[in-house]
Chain A
């Protein structure tokens, strides 16, 4: 009897005892994951007294569900209190993820199909010109003149001295450089971006957030999509070129349809990051373009955290993503794996 419990019929079918312990562990972790979410759900429908008078677990048994939080944040404070941050998050998240997907996929395609030979010397000159421009700017020269002269200087230098240097880099270097941008801590770049947007009067606008989110998402998109596209055989494109199709048509008609699973996974992952982004929004927005994470963080207010309101806000914010995750779970694993295998 004991033997039948501990040995399995086939190497791939776990023995009953093993199955039992597996379920205990998996069940435990399911509770670890689901219980906080359940708590979030019930707290969102509690009145303040039910929150502060000890734990109440089951609606209609321990407490009567109320729409207190709903009334407080949606009805009494005016609809825009929630709808404005929500629509900001929605628009910024969707648009920036989509833009990053488009720009990143194009770049990933280009990096797998063309050979680039940028010269380190030219890049070095570019950086020197930027530093020169900045120093001049710091010395009091108007920005437009400083930037303009730096650009002209760079073009002149690149076309004269730059052409003499032999050393080149290749696609691998460009790809590595693009992907390594992910390593950049946001705080290391945020101050200049802040000043830049201030000068362009883009602070506290959705446009600023969209541009920034698109940029920080690019490394992820390029990383995942590069491997997807590299796996698509060249022959498919070649026959189209013989028929006279242009590069863009091939990308649109042949590559994109074949890369749909990868595109979906990448979009979802990037959307999750942009939807939940906090630090950049913290620096770049105030009231007008405030996003949901900021609204939630701001609930840590003077009267002490109002758990019922916070829970409802978090619930509203995560609902769409949870729904998408359940719907597209298969794609996520697959899409992430392709990127991770090749590194």
Chain B
């Protein structure tokens, strides 16, 4: 790294001779200040993120075992990955397949149509470039593969694997959090009395450890001794248990996750809404725009950049979901709520470290893919245009 100073620092020029040790020390410290200030962060990240990341990659191609007094590593090529995609772990990772149902086919067709429209728009736009097209085609192939996987595992006798379960958690959870957060923020930005109370109250769930929330929602969803059990009894659902069905268990995890993370969306969207210049809104209202038009054309474009960053942060974090399902449902029933992180952890517990690393790497690939598509393609369309 060869830093060049800017920003009018330059430092003070001392005379070379007659310098005490102290002066020389302080001068060399001053000169190396760009490195002194930045390097601690770089070194930490290198040693605890990049270095382990490379080791993990190697590990995912090997069988790792703890033996007496240490460990042994044996290179086995792609065996771990093959096992996940077509071997004994396929059922757990990808799931069990069935012919897609009508609903799944309709949804798939809808997704295909949207993608096709976006591609046509891109080819016609002035942003078009051959490299961009190739990148997009790769992205589309990957997306369609994921959509197809969701279609065949979620219909009929299909059984979603940990990959699809994680995707469900992320997309349903983050959408719910964003929409609820935005709705609440819009309500609170009106000039209503008691604003501060709502702001503080709505913030609270974010402070609570996910483990605690897992237990808390197990209590809340208890249909026998839980606080809302009278309502369940009234509805004739006293024998119903959330965690017995795959659908119920997943809903429970998503509700708990939404409860915790809606505040994050709410608090930032609220700050963003409050920083929308009042003159613009006022002018629009004077011009006779109704509430919806005002929101759609004035407010929404203003909070779009923040919204995109927010959704991005939450999506990235949501892919790592592990403590909530572990406490709430222990990944069950079966593997209905087992996220990829939980899956990797269970493999680690089973001392299959190579497999654990392979799962982690696949998760990393999916997260990176989603983030890249999001930043490079979607964000440009909506925020820049």
* B341:A325 contact, CB within 8 angstroms: no
Given A278-B322, A297-B211, A310-B215; A183-B8 close (CB under 8 Å): no
Given A13-B191, A110-B38, A185-B319; A329-B48 close (CB under 8 Å): no
Given A23-B192, A134-B55; A215-B44 close (CB under 8 Å): yes
Q: Which chain B residue shows the least CB distance to A114?
A: B34
Query: Which of B76-84, B128-136, B359-367 lies at the binding interface?
Result: B359-367
Tell me, rounded to whole Å, the shortest Cβ–Cβ distance linking A34 to chain B. Answer: 6
Q: Which of B4, B5, B208 has most A Cβ within 10 Å?
A: B208
Task: Kindly state whether residue B160 has any CB partner on chain A within 8 Å.
Answer: no
* A33:B201 contact, CB within 8 angstroms: yes
Chain A residues in 8 Å Cβ range of B259: 32-33, 36
Chain A residues in 8 Å Cβ range of B305: 341, 343
* A300:B327 contact, CB within 8 angstroms: yes
Task: Kindly state whether residue A253 has any CB partner on chain B within 8 Å.
Answer: no
Given A54-B225, A276-B209; A185-B364 close (CB under 8 Å): yes
Mark contacts of B49-90 with chain A using CB atoms, 8 A cut-off: 1 yes-contact digit, 0 otherwise: 111111110110000100000010101000000000000000
User: How far is A307 from B75 in the complex, measured between Cα atoms in Å?
Assistant: 47
Task: Kindly state whether residue A254 has any CB partner on chain B within 8 Å.
Answer: no
Tell me, rounded to whole Å, the shortest Cβ–Cβ distance linking B186 to chain A. Answer: 9
Task: Kindly state whether residue B244 has any CB partner on chain A within 8 Å.
Answer: no
Task: Kindly state whether residue A231 has any CB partner on chain B within 8 Å.
Answer: no
Query: Which of B105-113, B144-152, B171-179, B308-316 lies at the binding interface?
Result: B308-316
Task: Kindly state whether residue B246 has any CB partner on chain A within 8 Å.
Answer: no
Mark contacts of B206-217 with chain A using CB atoms, 8 A cut-off: 1 yes-contact digit, 0 otherwise: 111111100111
Given A103-B41, A247-B33, A317-B212; A329-B200 close (CB under 8 Å): yes
Mark contacts of B340-372 with chain A using CB atoms, 8 A cut-off: 1 yes-contact digit, 0 otherwise: 110011001000010011011101100110010
Query: Which of B95-103, B117-125, B226-234 lies at the binding interface?
Result: B226-234
* B345:A341 contact, CB within 8 angstroms: no
Q: Which chain B residue shows the least CB distance to A325?
A: B207
Given A14-B192, A181-B49, A333-B271; A191-B59 close (CB under 8 Å): yes
| Selected contact of B210 from candidates A19, A29, A278, A332, CB within 8 Å | A278
Q: Helix, strand, loop or mixed for chain A's interface?
A: helix
* B341:A187 contact, CB within 8 angstroms: yes
How many chain A residues touch B (CB < 8 A): the figure is 114
Given A107-B41, A116-B38; A191-B53 close (CB under 8 Å): no
User: How far is A43 from B380 in the complex, measured between Cα atoms in Å?
Assistant: 50
Task: Kindly state whether residue A337 has any CB partner on chain B within 8 Å.
Answer: yes
Chain B residues in 8 Å Cβ range of A113: 6-7, 9
* B48:A52 contact, CB within 8 angstroms: no
Chain A residues in 8 Å Cβ range of B91: none
Chain B residues in 8 Å Cβ range of A141: none
Mark contacts of A186-201 with chain B using CB atoms, 8 A cut-off: 1 yes-contact digit, 0 otherwise: 1111111101100000
* B45:A296 contact, CB within 8 angstroms: no
Tell me, rounded to whole Å, the shortest Cβ–Cβ distance linking B88 to chain A. Answer: 20
Chain A residues in 8 Å Cβ range of B42: 107, 174, 178
* A337:B216 contact, CB within 8 angstroms: no
* B323:A297 contact, CB within 8 angstroms: yes
Q: Which of B11, B205, B212 has most A Cβ within 10 Å?
A: B212
Task: Kindly state whether residue B37 has any CB partner on chain A within 8 Å.
Answer: yes
Query: Which of A64-72, A74-82, A238-246 lies at the binding interface?
Result: A238-246
* A117:B268 contact, CB within 8 angstroms: no
Q: Which chain B residue shows the least CB distance to A52?
A: B225
Chain A residues in 8 Å Cβ range of B200: 325-326, 329
| Selected contact of A279 from candidates B1, B203, B322, CB within 8 Å | B322
Tell me, rounded to whole Å, the shortest Cβ–Cβ distance linking A253 to chain B. Answer: 15
User: How far is A256 from B359 in the complex, measured between Cα atoms in Å?
Assistant: 42
Task: Kindly state whether residue B267 has any CB partner on chain A within 8 Å.
Answer: yes
* A11:B225 contact, CB within 8 angstroms: no
Q: List A residues 101-123 near B (Cβ within 8 Å).
A: 103-104, 106-107, 109-111, 113-118
Given A178-B45, A218-B44, A244-B12; A332-B225 close (CB under 8 Å): no
| Selected contact of B268 from candidates A104, A111, A296, A333, CB within 8 Å | A333
Task: Kindly state whether residue A22 has any CB partner on chain B within 8 Å.
Answer: yes
Chain A residues in 8 Å Cβ range of B267: 332-333, 336
B positions within 8 Å CB-CB of A = 1-12, 26, 29-30, 33-34, 36-38, 40-42, 44-45, 47-56, 58-59, 64, 71, 73, 75, 180, 183-184, 187-188, 190-192, 197-212, 215-220, 224-230, 259, 267-268, 270-272, 275, 278, 281-282, 285-286, 305-306, 308-310, 312-313, 316-317, 319-320, 322-323, 326-327, 340-341, 344-345, 348, 353, 356-357, 359-361, 363-364, 367-368, 371
A positions within 8 Å CB-CB of B = 11-14, 18-19, 22-23, 25-26, 29-30, 32-37, 39-40, 43, 51-55, 57, 103-104, 106-107, 109-111, 113-118, 127, 130-131, 134-135, 138, 174, 178, 181-193, 195-196, 211-212, 214-216, 218, 222, 234, 237-238, 241, 244, 246-248, 251, 272, 275-276, 278-279, 282-283, 292-293, 296-297, 299-300, 305, 307, 310-311, 314, 317-318, 321-322, 324-326, 329, 332-334, 336-337, 339-341, 343
Interchain residue pairs with CB less than 8 A apart (28):
A25-B183, A33-B204, A34-B204, A53-B225, A107-B41, A110-B34, A114-B4, A116-B38, A117-B2, A138-B58, A138-B73, A183-B368, A187-B348, A187-B359, A187-B363, A188-B357, A190-B52, A237-B9, A241-B10, A246-B30, A276-B211, A283-B348, A292-B209, A297-B326, A305-B218, A314-B208, A322-B207, A325-B206
List 8 A-B pairs, minimum CB-CB distance, nearest first: A192-B52, A192-B55, A107-B41, A188-B360, A276-B209, A110-B37, A189-B52, A314-B212
